[in-house]
A = this chain, B = another copy of it.
């Protein structure tokens, strides 16, 4: 029933590859990272290459990316010419690194693009700018104010999203866990957490 260790490691390595590829990184990156993480030991490019059956170039390129995401680090050994690689051990830390990096690369440029686009529109007619969207009764798609309202709603949403990420990044693991518990506890009580907690301030 019990597979040998390598077998278990291999399964895990593949699963992790799948999970992270859903997540915007690529499969090989996930596999390398998983291998380093699960063995817990510094490995050389050669070892990774052999264990994962992938080419030298592939290993090299993906290790480089992993380092740029901050989830793998290089290690040197005196009198040894090879470089060794180790995974960041704390899941919380690498997850944050990945989130931070993705936000920078992917969300922020889009937010700017949105603002630029919005700037192309004539300024809102006074009276048309109710805070959220004023859903037009049965408006045609040709009213600039309607368009503007929609765009702004969308931008607002992306900004809230971005803000949420920001918040998340500032949390320590401990605080995050506590927050989770708190929210879990509050939820069947009608989930007016925010109101209550704010009141307390």
Q: Does A68 count as interface, using CB distance less than 8 angstroms?
A: no
Chain A, interface SS category:
helix
| Contacts of A144-201 to chain B: CB distance below 8 A | 144, 146-147, 150-151, 153-154, 157-158, 160-161, 163-164, 167, 170-172, 174-187, 191-198, 200-201
Decide yes or no whether A37 CB sits under 8 A from chain B: yes
**12 other A-B residue contacts (CB within 8 Å) besides A22-B106, A39-B141, A178-B194:** A3-B120, A16-B154, A19-B107, A37-B154, A38-B147, A164-B180, A175-B191, A176-B194, A178-B195, A178-B198, A181-B194, A181-B198
**Complex interface bits, A107-122 against B, C-beta within 8 A gives 1, otherwise 0:** 1001001100100111
Q: Is the CB of B167 within 8 A of A183?
A: yes
A117 touches B11 (CB 8 A): yes
Given contacts A120-B7, A191-B170, contact A150 B114 (CB under 8 A): no
Which chain B residues border A176 with CB–CB below 8 Å? Answer: 160, 164, 194
Please give the distance in Å from A123's CB to the nearest CB on chain B. 10
> What is the count of identical protomers in the complex?
2
For A164, the chain B residues whose CB sits under 8 A away are: 176, 180
Total contacting residues, chain A, CB less than 8 A: 82
CB atoms of A142 and B175 under 8 A apart:
no
Contacts of A130 in B (CB 8 A): none
Q: With A11-B120, A170-B187 known to touch, is A5 a contact of B177 (CB < 8 Å)?
A: no
| Contact between chains at B150 and A19 (CB < 8 Å) | no
* Closest Cβ–Cβ distance, residue A161 to chain B (whole Å): 8
| Cβ contacts under 8 Å, A179 to chain B | 193-194
Q: Once the chains bind, are A12 and B117 in contact (CB under 8 Å)?
A: yes
Contact: A198 with B170, CB < 8 Å? no
Docked-complex contact A141 and B193, CB < 8 angstroms: no
Say yes or no: is A69 at the interface (Cβ < 8 Å to chain B).
no
